[in-house]
A and B are shown apart, each in its own frame.
Chain A
Amino acid sequence: MMRAGLLLVLAAALCAQDGATHKDWPHYGGTYQFWRYSALEQVNRSNVKRLVAKWSFQTGESDEGLQATPIVIDGVMYISTSWNRVFAIDAATGREIWAYYYQNPKTIGVIYSPWNRGVAVGAGRVFMGTLDNHVVALDQKTGREVWKVEVQPLAQCGCNITGAPLVVKDKVIVGVTGGDSAHRGYLTAYNVRTGRLAWKFYTIPGPGEPGHETWQGDSWKYGGGATWMTGSYDPELNHVYWAVGNPAADFYGGSRKGDNLYTDSIVALDADTGKLKWYHQQVPHDVWDWDTAYEPVLLDLRVNGKPRKLLLNVNKGGYVFVVDRTNGEFVSAWPLVKNLNWITGIDSKGNLLGRNEPKVGVPTTICPAIGGGRSWNQGAWSPRTGLYYTTGIEWCQEVIAQKEEPREGREFFGGTFKLKQTPDKDAHSHLGAYDPLTGKRKWLYRSKYPLLASQLATAGDLIFTGDPEGNFFALDARSGEKLWNFQTGSGHRGSAVSYEVNGQQYIATPSGWGSAVAGLMGQLWPEAERFRKGSTIFVFGLP
């Protein structure tokens, strides 16, 4: 009897989802669940004011800033920069352990460059995708290249790799850019040890496959569907979740009539085979460039009293979607921004209502602007507060669609855009704390400029993030009150992390302004053209 009771307790403990990081920050999103939440609590609301800089590290490569998320394992930090430099750094002192400079061609020739958003570490290797569309595996101890494989010739697909890979069991999974090129998107997995291609999932079904009928004529060959950010993984279901970007051409859909599966969808794939388990399309036949490219966050929550395994994802169009991650069933959707006019709403089944589409040759005002109701910078979830923290941007644009013929591997945008003020002349940004299911807001922190850095939540009930003016700061996770601020000297576009070495909790943040969306800001805020670049890691701890 007693024995049975013990087993029950154990079972409950095993089932409890732990998406928190502890001493290490092992994956791009913190853990496979992509919470961006650290269980460390040495730094908390009562002592955060005493945080001091412990060390900094200059990467020496400031082209388009520093957009990566550091990975920290056993006291060593691994980080990549623009132009595919990788560093291993002593996470307690800032001493360089090794450096690897990938040899890229002199010109890349696609718009998705020269940034890199991070590495993956596993099986004694550090993995990185490159600007010329290769994957390299480095020895974790020495930084020496172990294997290298070309994913697809860059000149052919107009695609490459800027996102961080994801290691799952014996495979490293890598997504590609190319959603604004005449290209057929895919996700590939390689054996971590040998570099041999293990599987390839096309995000656009080929002839004879289900979903192929959602593409008109030959449009499936050039329909985009990039996999440019990083996914998540549920070990229990053995599902890899990846978000698939917009269809190409972005603003002109006249030659790709149909729903255009699996663009703007979350796909769940069998981690071992890459076979599709389910999909949920957020925006059928997208004509706004509303990538479903961002992080899939895995949450176990009660819905109407019933425990469910959920997946939360912020769409670039400014809506947050929640689905059941066992089968893709729609659960809820809520708007993240106030200025949103491309639809009038979403019904209880997840269908879009009142579409406001760009027109050929005629300007249409669309809100939010192309940079998104939120950009790719990631939100954070705190199981302590039960709140989801993420940024939003209030801005609009004028879009003119144009009819274009696809040219394989070349730009395929189908129109132009120009940023525009919001109707109430109040373009700005914010960081909010939301109920993940309903979007009910607990607090909102206002920012003059678009907030383009990720959030880090900690068990000290703090939210760390940075702004375009170089401020790195901590907010009270419960009230949104600003508790601490440090000026790092260049704007924030990367992702802060927390880790522990020798009993000391550290908070690390990349600092270095740049990126595509940062470049667009000049259209609304001319002074942003002069924001200073940089590429430095700052690390903080208690004295």
Chain B
Amino acid sequence: MLELILLMQAAVADPQVLARGEKLFAQSCSVGYCHGVAGAAARGPRLAGRTFTREYLVEVTRDGIPRSAMPGWKGRMSEADIHAVVEYVASLGTVTGDAGPAAAPAGETEDLTHERNRFLESCGICHAGRGVGKAVGPELSGRTEAEIRAGLVARRPALVKRLELASGESFPAVTGSDDGDWVQVFDLSVAPPVLLTLPRSEIRQWKDHNEWQHPQLAHDAPLASIARYLSAR
């Protein structure tokens, strides 16, 4: 009896939510080789005709499945859209569990994907910021446009040295990890930086680097947009 009630609950999804879910599923889930149309078998598992708990569907849609091609949609889709997709997938098979909140929770954050991407393709190739990018140079989270600009034009950033190898070759570099026999360094000769793993014996010396400047691609980057991303709450 309880099971019947749960099943009935599952069946009363809002038709508008279902339609939204169906559209989102077609655009984001049954694309290419992932899930097939209407949950048919494809590269990803068949969803049609299967039994899931709603909690599982929400969790997998929101957070993805580690070590699989299934991405987490949190941050890529609003909570309301995730809910709509779950309702649609639920309609393809049998689902147990509560319908959950249909409305988006408060505090849905602004979509700064465009700004994040501008960061990733410029500063982010050498700097981390808000959990993305490469931690070669200093972390940039929270920096304002003026602060970024000041850092960008500063000659001779303290971190960048000239590394001289035993072979006589030398290049601008930043130190990475060091486990005694093997040393990791970032070669900054050309963007993007190259992480080298060198035997200690190959390193002759580290020297100050008085001429190093940020590469042109950093100067050309849309800094206002990037600062908006870095200083977002």
Contacts and interface: CB of A to CB of B under 8 A. Distances in A.
Given A111-B32, A111-B69, A150-B125, A196 B197 contact: no
Given A411-B31, A411-B32, A107 B117 contact: no
Interface stretch (B35-43, B141-149, B156-164): B35-43
Nearest to A405: B27
B21 interface: no
A409 B75 CA distance: 14
Contact of B69 (A113, A150, A370, A410): A113
A197 interface: yes
A240 B6 CA distance: 61
A50 interface: no
Given A153-B121, A156-B117, A402 B27 contact: yes
Interface stretch (A294-302, A331-339, A343-351, A519-527): A519-527
A147 B34 CA distance: 33
A413 interface: yes
A417 B35 CA distance: 10
B71 interface: yes
A352 interface: no
B33 A106 contact: no
A418 B27 contact: no
B193 A413 contact: no
Interface in A518-542: 518-520, 522-523, 526, 529
Contacts of A413: 27, 31-32
Given A402-B27, A522-B41, A523-B41, A147 B64 contact: no
A418 to B, nearest CB: 5
B21 to A, nearest CB: 14
A418 B34 contact: no
A416 B113 CA distance: 25
Nearest to B197: A145
Interface string B95-135: 00000000000000000011011001100110000001110
B76 A149 contact: no
B11 interface: no
Contacts of B32: 111, 180, 250, 411, 413, 516
A510 B15 CA distance: 49
Interface stretch (B183-191, B206-214, B222-230): B183-191
25 contacts: A63-B67, A83-B67, A108-B71, A109-B69, A110-B69, A111-B32, A150-B125, A150-B134, A153-B120, A155-B116, A155-B120, A156-B116, A194-B187, A195-B187, A195-B196, A196-B194, A408-B117, A409-B113, A409-B117, A410-B28, A413-B27, A416-B37, A522-B41, A522-B42, A523-B42
